[in-house]
Structure 1
Amino acid sequence: MMRERDTVFQAPRRSLLSIIVPVFNEQEVLREFHSRLSAALVSAQVDEIEILFVNDGSTDETLGILREMARTDQRIQVIDLSRNFGKEAAMTAGLEFASGDAAVIIDADLQDPPELIPQMVEEWRNGFDMVYMRRLSRQSETWLKKTSASAFYWLMGLIGRVQVPENVGDFRLLSRRAIDALNRMLERTRFMKGLFAWIGFPAKEIAYHREPRQAGKTKWNYWQLWNFALEGFTSFTITPLKLASYVGVLTSLASLLYGLFVFLKTLLTGDPVPGYPSLIVVIAFLGGLQLLALGIIGEYLGRMFIEAKQRPLYLVNRHYKTIKRHTLSLVQDERVRS
């Protein structure tokens, strides 16, 4: 668990703050988000601000709206990815393009209020490398989603080697050295909440009430959340592999003892070997354990296969940035995550 402590780190007197906003099909809420964000940043204790919208392959009018906003707000840059790579890749792209002394990651759906950013900046100036936001309430979320989230954090804390703060999402502030540390991590299968926790550094928690989504629909279904949880488990612990080994050893030992018992019983009393139904149950049970162990090994092996291919984490289609007022230019030094 990250904890608060005194540190020699001090924020620079003149500072640039980067706001990283990963977006995917958020046309309904973008203008309202920009309005609230702009109002909130007025009271932030920084000298300059850049707003990086990372368009993660949106198929609606999101890109057009972002380019329109960039023409009227010099602070906005639009990083248009070549397709939908997922939120983890979009956040990584934002962190790599960010030039600020600190960066805030926030979603555009207004569930995380931009009005809290000045408070986050204040804590950063107090010497914290990371300011993470803990949700006191999760309005509009179903009972099943809340329960599964609690189960995930409990299990992650039980078997994981890195303590991931519970009820903490991607809404957070990172100092420059925290950003640089994250940018050194080159893995392709990324679980950002775990990476945020892994880097350590002095951290501060701020509690808040998460609001309902203002418009549009959530991009996460239960199948995606399940796969996301698997990424978390396999990225930060090998405990499932150890459990498969332990279960295999215990099952083999139990089978050996039971076989010895049947042999001695038959030898001493002449009772026949147990019949067909019990044999089928034992075979099915052992077969299930073997398939479970192979599945666990397969999850890790599949991730090793992805890492070994060394494909870029994302590709940039266009990078739009206002060079002069009311002039939106295409930046030619398009980057890829290698």
Structure 2
Amino acid sequence: MKQITILIPAYNEEESLHHLYNRLLESTSDLSHYAFEFLFVNDGSQDATMEIIKDLRKKDEKVSYVDLSRNFGKETAMIAGFDYAKGDAVIILDADLQDPPELIPEMVKYWEQGYDDVYAKRRSRRGETIMKKATAGLFYKLLKRMSQVPIQENTGDFRLLDRRCVEAIRQIRETQRYTKGMFSWVGYHKKEILFDRDPRISGETKWNYGKLFDLAIEGVTSFTTAPLRFSSLMGITVSFFAFLYMIWIIFKTIAFGESVAGYPSLMSVILFIGGIQLIVLGIIGEYLGRVFNETKNRPLYFIHEYNEERVMNFNGQKRVSQNNND
């Protein structure tokens, strides 16, 4: 019997978990010839999320959990789930039920047809503001134009991954993670399905505009060096026009003379060129900061507990607990 892991990163989702669990049972009830694992990754929740997950595990052996030592962010929570997932395929699902579990049978159907990555593309995004929809569309268009890797537009983490896709992503141990791009980077046989995204069933989104901006920066700097190329071209262009302006000033001074007047135009040019330099330095700094973080080679995360076992150490390849070594 094939096993399918449903990976659910959760951060302060106490109001959604029971609804999610019930819909998971309904969605997988017709797939009785598969063994399912509901793997929750608690990303340092401050509410009763962990207690609810433990209660669910007590009454259903399909439920497993990984309790991170603190809040590391969704991107890191997903790689932790990949490390602990047991299934021949892994389905990533948000705990807020914006991604409908009812699509799971369709994903499994295409997986059985030989597809390695069955990803769900949003046909509509109910419950989101016009500003968020517009900025998301703009970001995907820019990223697709700049990146050499094909990036799926309006596609999140909701997808089914074959075990070989999971193992490929597990090898990517970057600390600055943009998993949506990694799904495209590893390749393999992909299949798109469309769905209408629902609003959150309860609570408020954890993704404010600041976090979304950070994620956008991760996406751009992780999969393209186009900003560095653009900054170089911008520097060459500004230098060229500054050189022409310098020649004009010298010629005008020799031919017609020049009074002391001209301070405003001089300051304008200096401030403009200085602003361009600061922008370029900021772009370089973004990439340099990522190089700095990667060179530290810190573990991506630490586990407090895995299925009632207190984890002593984790190095990305081996789990060591007080009760057993595997």
**What range is the shorter-chain TM-score in?**
over 0.9
Letter aligned with residue 318 of structure 1: E
Q: CA deviation at 1:270?
A: 2.7
Structure 2 counterpart SS, 1:26: coil
2: CA distance, partners of 1:16 / 1:262: 75
| Aligned counterpart in structure 1 of residue 243 of structure 2, from 256, 267, 278 | 256
2: CA distance, partners of 1:149 / 1:107: 18
Partner of 1:155: 142
2:261 pairs with 1:282: no
2: CA distance, partners of 1:121 / 1:274: 75
2: CA distance, partners of 1:30 / 1:303: 35
2: CA distance, partners of 1:39 / 1:152: 36
Q: CA deviation at 1:49?
A: 1.0
Which aligned pairs between 1:1-338 and structure 2 lie closer than 5 A? 14-44=1-31, 46-272=33-259, 275-320=262-307, 329-330=308-309, 335-337=314-316
Any conservation in 2 of the 1:316–1:336 contact (CA below 8 Å)? no
Q: Which moved more, 1:301-310 or 1:44-53?
A: 44-53
Q: CA deviation at 1:107?
A: 0.5
Letter aligned with residue 129 of structure 2: T
Q: Higher relative contact order at CA 8 Å, sep ≥6: structure 1 or structure 2?
A: 1
Gap change, CA 1:26 and 1:336, over 3 Å in 2:
farther
Q: Which moved more, 1:204-213 or 1:265-274?
A: 265-274
Q: CA deviation at 1:272?
A: 3.9
Structure 2 counterpart SS, 1:104: strand
Q: CA deviation at 1:294?
A: 0.6
Any conservation in 2 of the 1:131–1:203 contact (CA below 8 Å)? yes
Q: Deviations over 1:26-66 (max 9, x none)?
A: 00010010000011011237421111100000000000000
Q: Which moved more, 1:26-35 or 1:266-275?
A: 266-275
Partner of 1:5: none
Question: Aligned Cα RMSD in Å?
Answer: 1.4
Q: CA deviation at 1:242?
A: 1.1
Any conservation in 1 of the 2:304–2:311 contact (CA below 8 Å)? no
1: CA distance, partners of 2:18 / 2:277: 53
Letter aligned with residue 38 of structure 2: I
Structure 1 counterpart SS, 2:314: coil
Any conservation in 1 of the 2:3–2:35 contact (CA below 8 Å)? yes
| Structure 1 unaligned blocks of 5 or more | 1-13, 321-328
Q: CA deviation at 1:253?
A: 1.2
TM-score of the superposition, structure 1-length normalised? 0.91
Any conservation in 2 of the 1:315–1:337 contact (CA below 8 Å)? no
Letter aligned with residue 145 of structure 2: L
Any conservation in 2 of the 1:16–1:46 contact (CA below 8 Å)? no
Q: CA deviation at 1:225?
A: 0.5
Q: CA deviation at 1:264?
A: 1.2
Structure 1 segments, 4+ long, off by >3 Å, are 271-274, 331-338
Letter aligned with residue 63 of structure 1: M
Q: CA deviation at 1:239?
A: 0.8
2: CA distance, partners of 1:46 / 1:292: 57
Any conservation in 2 of the 1:44–1:121 contact (CA below 8 Å)? no
Structure 2 counterpart SS, 1:20: strand
Structure 1 counterpart SS, 2:24: helix
* Identical positions, percent: 46
Q: Deviations over 1:210-266 (max 9, x none)?
A: 011000110010011001100000000111111111111111111111110121122
Number of residue equivalences = 317
